[in-house]
């Protein structure tokens, strides 16, 4: 059985917000996405090459670093899984915070931080 949750949070400066999610998709501004992506308040990156947790490599996180976020929320899919510390080292060494959580939690947390006008990036495995 698929769980569906609708999220409605609006703020005057937030552009990209999660408006829903399920086990195999997220909705951003009421548009459904069923593939891995990176979401920032002012930018949506659909071509993130990370497809599965097993395929993760340092280049995936280097790309996130190039976006210059203040903090990264890494959503690992339906289940919380922690990446090897070597993969996220570039973010940490650059002073960028990273929080690892399941994708549903990353969606909820992103909306809160975005409403606070934080430069947050949600990197999500779907």
**CATH number for the domain including 119?**
3.40.1230.10
Q: Output DSSP code: residue 84.
A: P
Q: Report the domain count for the chain.
A: 1
pLDDT band at 5 (very low <50, low <70, confident <90, very high): low
Whose tokens are 């698929």? That residue is 2
Q: Is residue 10 in a domain?
A: no
Q: Is residue 27 in a domain?
A: no
Token readout for 54 is 């097993």
Q: Is residue 65 in a domain?
A: yes
What tens digit of pLDDT does each residue of 18-73 get? 999 999 999 999 999 999 999 999 999 998 999 999 999 999 999 999 999 999 99
Give the pLDDT confidence score for residue 87 in this predicted structure: 97
Instruction: Kindly list the distances between the CA atom of residue 121 and the CA atoms of 18, 79, 95, in Å, as whole numbers in the listed order.
Output: 12, 19, 14
Give the pLDDT confidence score for residue 4 in this predicted structure: 56
The model's pTM is 0.88
* Cα angle, residue 8 at apex, residues 109 and 4 outer, rounded to 5°: 80
């Amino acid at each position: 059985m698929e769980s569906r949750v609708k999220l409605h949070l609006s703020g005057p400066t937030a552009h990209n917000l999660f408006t829903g999610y399920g086990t195999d998709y997220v909705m951003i501004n009421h548009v459904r996405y069923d593939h891995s992506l990176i979401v920032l308040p002012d930018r949506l990156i659909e071509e993130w090459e990370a497809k599965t947790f097993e395929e993760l490599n340092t280049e995936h996180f280097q790309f996130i670093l190039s976006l210059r976020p203040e903090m990264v929320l890494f959503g690992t899919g339906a289940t919380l899984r922690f990446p090897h510390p070597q993969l996220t080292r570039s973010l940490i060494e650059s002073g960028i915070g990273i929080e690892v959580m399941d994708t549903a939690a990353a969606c909820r947390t992103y909306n809160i931080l975005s409403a606070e006008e934080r430069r947050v990036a949600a990197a999500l495995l779907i």
